[in-house]
Structure 1
Amino acid sequence: MKTIQYLVFLVAVLWSASAWSQNLAGEYNIKVTGSNVHLHKSPAQSSVNANTTLKITQNGSRITMTFGGFGGVSAATIFKGDVGNNRFSAVWWYKGYPHETKVVWGTVNGNKIKGRMIYPRVSGRQGLVPGWVDVSFSGNKKLVINPGVIGGIKPVVPVIPVTPIKPVKPVIPVIPGLAPVLAEDCLSFNPDKVKVEDEGDGTYLLTDGHSRMKVFPNKKEARRAKKVIRHYRLNKHCFIGRPDPSLEYWLKGSKAPKGGLKHDDCIKFNPSNLTLKKEGSRWLLRDGSHRMHMFPNKKEANTALAFIKKYGFKRTCYIGRPDPSMTYFRK
């Protein structure tokens, strides 16, 4: 009987060790190689050869993979998937953008990862060039070194006896009218390093030299975006509802941009007059009877309303209407 119990215990330990060996969580330095193919542009194909990053979080066998930017793929592209038997697969897809889909799959061996990404694009949105990205990637997990451990030996710290002190229960003051802290999803950048790059396929990239910030359908709109960022000294690009944000907004530090810029295309609204209305499965943000913005769910609509009021936005501004390539708010 004891032998059977021991064997069951041993199998459980080995299974646990196998499952642990498939822990992908961490940050990776990634090498990407492949091609970006265009159906209606010349040249019809361009090579992709870049270094980027990959961050993976894991809950059981479920994984979330966040790639940094590289040729043809924007930064912070988030994939959802699964891992098992030292293999993984994940997809990026959003019902609001059926003209784009991204798929990744591959294998993991210890701290090493390798795989492939396919990203087909079809027509249906301004600035989107039909074609596909087909790349292979490989890399190693970044090592996290504990500065308190040198050469594998943890320094001995002398133990000093102390007199026990009775813990005091902290008192958290309640401030009437204080709203709960909202978590923001923002990327910081240096406005002085923002530049426009020709993608070679009819589109133009706004970048700070590190991240692929936005892609524009023409040079005029890309240059206007750069001018807006420089003028208002914007240094944070924020999103609601990533990986496919239903709304973006830009900040100067922790404040809303204010003032004005010649040729700003803005619509004024009253933040105290904003309401939400359900329309089918979606939610409409409106200023009185004026329709402002549609959201895919109530959570994102409420979050947008909260941030608009938090920063005191009073104008919605656009670049490239009637199909704007960029939206920003200001006072």
Structure 2
Amino acid sequence: MKNIFLASVLLVTVLTTAAWGDLSGRWSGNDGGIYYLRQTDGYVYWYGEAADAQPKWSNVFSGRLFGTRIKGNWADVPKGRTTGAGNLELVLENDGNDLRVVNKTGGFVATRWTRTNTEASVTQPLMQMKPTGKADCVRFDPAALCVRQVNGRWKIVDAEHWLLDFGPNQAAADQSLKVIRHYRMDRACFVGRPNPLFSYMLAKGGSPSGAIAGEDCVDFDPKTVAVSNIQGRWKIVSGRRWLFDFGPAQTEARQALSVIRRYRFSRSCFVGRPDADFSYLRR
């Protein structure tokens, strides 16, 4: 009986590896965390932490693969400030690219994980995100983003690309990431690239809406905004106040006005004024 049991375990391990491939690599959790998985034979281990420069929590996991399920134990470690521990049972989905919690104890927060890259690509240099499709937009997964220092500059990045560059300003990078996650922004769009004169963020193809505590915004009425030439410079104005300056670029000013009206933006918001490191529009 013992030999039969061992043979069954080996068979499950072989079938799981064939069906799902190696699970080793970087995964993003819906708790905003980054998880580094390692699969060896029929076992899975991870180290996970909040995607911040000084993570509020960090944990480790050790589990066993049973077909499409993983059962094991987790515990917080002292890099973070939380001290939980418990059990986890997970199920593999989407051809092994997603993990979902089936059972958990100890107050574990995350319930889903998505594979963001494989072990082989972790060491590849970061490239700037590029637009895809006809619209001049960059698509990204807000849950996969984190703040990282790259060659002395603080950037918002995913596994292989960087989205925003904040130079030496780590605080602005951290706050901007909170804004992106709060509104679930998943596209960065531009008017006038390669040196854009106007940019905006979208959330699932629409305008971000709501509010976040401490937000620095200027309100305006999208129904009254217009393009005006003021002392030789094309600007988008609202009443007697100008909102955006396009210099000599009249075409880009009118394109940006069309964007504002299309998405009914009514607030222009900033992180780090007077020289904002990040700006966005919302309803």
TM-score, length-normalised on structure 1?
A: 0.45
**CA deviation digits over 1:200-227, x for unaligned, max 9?**
42x3011122321111131110001110
Aligned to 1:146: none
Q: Which residue of 2 aligns with 1:221?
A: 172
Tell me which amino acid in the other structure corresponds to 1:213. Answer: L
User: Match of 2:223, SS?
Assistant: helix
Partner residue of 1:267? 218
Counterpart of 1:316?
A: 268
C-alpha separation between the residues in 2 aligned to 1:270 and 1:279?
Answer: 20
**1:239 pairs with 2:170:** no
Aligned position for 1:254: 205
Structure 1 residues 301 and 199, CA gap change in structure 2 (3 angstroms)? same
Give the SS at the match of 1:271: coil
1:135-146 matched pairs, under 5 angstroms: none
Aligned to 1:7: none
Over residues 70-111 of structure 1, what are the superposed CA-to-partner deviations in whole Å (9 max), with x where a residue is unaligned? 4xxx4449xxxxxxxxxxxxxxxxxxxxxxxxxxxxxxxxxx
Match of 1:210 among 160, 163, 185: 160
CA distance in 1, matches of 2:138, 2:151: 26
Structural mapping, 1:1-20, within 5 Å = none
**Is 1:196 matched up with 2:147?**
yes
Structure 1 letter corresponding to 2:148: E
Q: CA deviation at 1:199?
A: 2.4
Q: How many residues get paired?
A: 157
Which residue in the other structure is 2:229 paired with? 278
Letter in 1 for 2:204: G
Q: What letter corresponds to residue 270 of structure 2 in structure 1?
A: Y
Alignment of 1:1-331 (within 5 A): 70=127, 74-76=128-130, 184-201=135-152, 203-217=153-167, 218-296=169-247, 297-331=249-283
Asked if 1 retains the 8 angstrom alpha-carbon contact of 2:216 and 2:269, the reply is: yes
Q: Deviations over 1:39-83 (max 9, x none)?
A: xxxxxxxxxxx857xxxxxxxxxxxxxxxx54xxx4449xxxxxx
CA–CA separation in structure 2 for the residues paired with 1:289 and 1:279: 11
In the other structure, the counterpart of 2:96 is none
Gap runs ≥5 in structure 1: 1-49, 53-68, 78-182
Task: Output the TM-score relative to the length of structure 2.
Answer: 0.52
Which secondary structure state, in structure 1, belongs to the residue aligned with residue 227 of structure 2? strand
Letter in 2 for 1:322: P
> Secondary structure of 2:212's match?
coil
Contact 2:124 2:160 in 1 (8 A): no
Identity %: 31
The match for 2:56 is: none
- After TM superposition, give the deviation of residue 247 of structure 1 in Å: 1.1
Give the counterpart letter for 2:145 in structure 1: V
Give the Cα–Cα distance (whole angstroms) in 1 for the partners of residues 154 and 256 of structure 2. Answer: 28
- Separation of aligned partners in 1, 2:212 and 2:187: 19
Structure 2: any 5+ residue segments left out of the alignment? 1-122
Other structure's SS at 1:231 match: helix
Moved over 2 A (4+): 74-77, 279-282
What does residue 127 of structure 1 align with? Answer: none
